[in-house]
Amino acid sequence: MPKLDGKTAVITGGTAGMALTTAKLFAEEGARVIITGRRKEKLDEAVAEIGHDATGVQGDVSNLEDLDRLVDAVTAHSGRVDVLFASAGAHTLNEPLGAATEKSFDDVFDVNVRGTFFTVQKLLPLLTDGASIILNGSAAAVLGNPASTVYAASKAALRSFARTWTTDLKERHIRVNVLSPGAIRTPSFEALPPEFISHALAEVPVGRAGTEADIATTALFLASADSSYITGAELPVDGGLTQV
């Protein structure tokens, strides 16, 4: 029996990387998948790649009007959300405290914090009782990695959201969890400077980078009834990086 049979899953930033691989797995497991992304061409490619009658809604999660259009599209599509994977994220590289700018701070917080907050708030009326919300965090939130101050703090905010939203949504039995990836080989990770990648991988206990499939299978676990007694939690998918 497919694990997400008859469910509607919304995945933000689902046009590439781990969220696209997750969208494919969710669709194979019976979900009707709706993905978002800013670039229309990339969105159309991803929708075709997912197949299974997937839908794409163009938009930036940091733009509230785009989020309103997402709500309208989901209302017209199925009128419900059983699984919400809020994955769209932004990062800055090599910006220690003294180098971060007002713009880089706002850009990262607008997408990661404000964008995630309003994605969930605006879709709240469409979330079914018993729905699963998964926030895409980061191992960086609990590490003191150099030059990562703004990004790390923005992802730490998601950990807090999961706790308070679990309480706020308790009556509706909506579960909220954070999936926190470590170093995962996605196109944007591969584009990082080689020295950054080797530094990121040096301390990973399992001795390798994570794969997009490592994230997708964990997201499926958090989305499905297999995790029905897990809420308000953070699940690190980082090869042990933050656990030893």
Ligand X SMILES: NC(=O)c1ccc[n+]([C@@H]2O[C@H](COP(=O)([O-])OP(=O)(O)OC[C@H]3O[C@@H](n4cnc5c(N)ncnc54)[C@H](OP(=O)(O)O)[C@@H]3O)[C@@H](O)[C@H]2O)c1
* Beta partners for residue 37, in sequence order: 58
CA 228, 168, 162, 15 dihedral sign is: positive
Which of 22-30, 94-102, 176-184, 219-227 is the region at the interface with ligand X (rule: CB under 6 A)?
Answer: 176-184
Q: What angle do CA 10, 181, 85 make, to 5 degrees?
A: 10
Output the residue with the shortest Cβ distance to ligand X.
Answer: 89
* Catalytic residue (one of 85, 109, 151, 221): 151
Q: Which x/- pattern over 85-124 shows residues binding ligand X (rule: CB under 6 A)?
A: --xxxxx-------------------x---x---------
42 or 77: CB nearest ligand X: 42
Name which of 38 and 128 has its Cβ closer to ligand X: 38
Q: If binding is defined by CB under 6 A, does position 138 make contact with ligand X?
A: yes
CB of 49 to ligand X, least distance (A): 12
CA-based nearest residue to 87, from 8, 154, 25, 179: 179
49 in Cβ contact with 31 (< 8 Å): no
C-alpha–C-alpha distance, residues 148 and 145, integer Å: 6
- By CB under 6 A, residue 184 contacts ligand X: yes
The residue (of 1 and 191) whose beta carbon lies closer to ligand X is 191
Q: Is 132 in the site for ligand X (CB under 6 A)?
A: no
The distance of closest approach from Cβ of residue 42 to ligand X in the complex, given in angstroms and rounded to an integer, is 5
One of 75, 101, 188, 228 touching ligand X (CB under 6 A): 188
Alpha-carbon gap, residue 28 to 176, rounded angstroms: 23
Q: What is the distance between the alpha carbons of residues 12 and 150, in angstroms, rounded to a whole number?
A: 21
